[in-house]
């Protein structure tokens, strides 16, 4: 489906991982796309493939959302768009390691891309949705936002903030026809791990979920109007149990290499990909 009245989705971080999987899934559902990321060659390849394989149109915006001018320009694009039916805020990255060993600039950039940018883009897209009494915002958060994972302090903070933001916005938008969701995956095998510095081989296979399964689950949950969605059954149960335990126990389980992790160090439970 294409044309002036076709539904339109905007996906940030679309050049790889979960963002690319969202673009593919939404194109398969007949939505035109605006895909945004830093890596233009990858975006062009994605857009070409999607337009060849489906009847949708795909517009590419190459932008580093950590650059203030680029972010301002993307905000303006969203405010001026003919319509946005779905905004998927997926761009982000994580850092594995002691907080005091992370470069201060990397810490700031992580907080900006993982929290400030999705809030800013939501602010840009939301008025148009409200004027039409329809639309949806899907923020790719992480199950890391629920629990204190040592060596991932900045990421946990950013994702906790993004999930709380989404929940609060849900309360504000009641009765407007606009839906919001915080998608909170567990480990998803993407470039995130290489960028964060964590070895994907240290994550038990039963905790992993493919990017496409994660995305399909998220879109189904959005149709059910689920506000906070953990797409992996094991991770969902794990989080629900873990949040009931005392803080000291949670930290030990997540950072102390418990036996149920086969003696390996605690896995990265963050899932948003670098764009």
- The first and second tokens of residue 162, run together, are 């993004």
Inter-residue contact 158 to 110 (CB < 8 Å):
yes
Length of the chain as a residue count: 275
Rounded Cα–Cα distance for residues 218 and 216 (Å)? 5
Say whether 96 is catalytic.
no
Rounded Cα–Cα distance for residues 67 and 72 (Å)? 9
Rounded Cα–Cα distance for residues 100 and 116 (Å)? 22
User: Pick the catalytic residue: 96, 155, 198, 206?
Assistant: 155
Residue showing tokens 């964060």? 196
- The first and second tokens of residue 109, run together, are 């950039």
- The first and second tokens of residue 120, run together, are 């800013």
Catalytic sites, residue numbers: 155
């Amino acid at each position: 489906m294409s044309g002036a009245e076709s539904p339109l989705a905007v996906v940030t971080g679309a050049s790889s991982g979960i963002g690319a999987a969202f673009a593919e899934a939404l194109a398969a559902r007949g939505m035109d796309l605006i895909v945004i990321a830093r890596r233009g060659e990858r975006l062009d390849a994605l857009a070409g493939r999607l337009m060849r394989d489906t009847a949708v149109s795909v517009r590419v915006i190459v932008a580093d959302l950590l650059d203030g001018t680029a972010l301002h320009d993307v905000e303006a694009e969203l405010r001026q768009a003919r319509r946005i039916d779905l905004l998927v805020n997926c761009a982000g990255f994580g850092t594995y390691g002691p907080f005091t060993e992370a470069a201060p600039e990397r810490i700031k950039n992580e907080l900006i891309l993982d929290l400030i940018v999705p809030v800013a883009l939501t602010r840009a897209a939301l008025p148009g949705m409200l004027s039409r009494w329809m639309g949806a915002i899907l923020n790719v958060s992480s199950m890391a936002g629920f629990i204190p994972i040592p060596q991932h302090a900045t990421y946990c903070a950013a994702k906790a903030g993004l999930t709380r933001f989404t929940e609060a916005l849900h309360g504000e938008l009641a009765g407007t026809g606009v839906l919001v969701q915080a998608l909170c995956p567990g480990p998803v095998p993407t470039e995130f791990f290489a960028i964060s510095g964590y070895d994907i081989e240290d994550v038990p296979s039963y905790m992993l979920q493919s990017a496409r399964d994660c995305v399909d689950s998220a879109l189904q949950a959005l149709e059910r109007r689920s506000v906070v969605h953990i797409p992996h059954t094991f991770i969902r149960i794990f989080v629900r149990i873990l949040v009931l335990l005392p803080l000291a126990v949670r930290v030990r389980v997540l950072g102390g290499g418990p036996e149920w992790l086969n003696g390996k160090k605690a896995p990265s439970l963050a899932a948003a990909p670098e764009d």
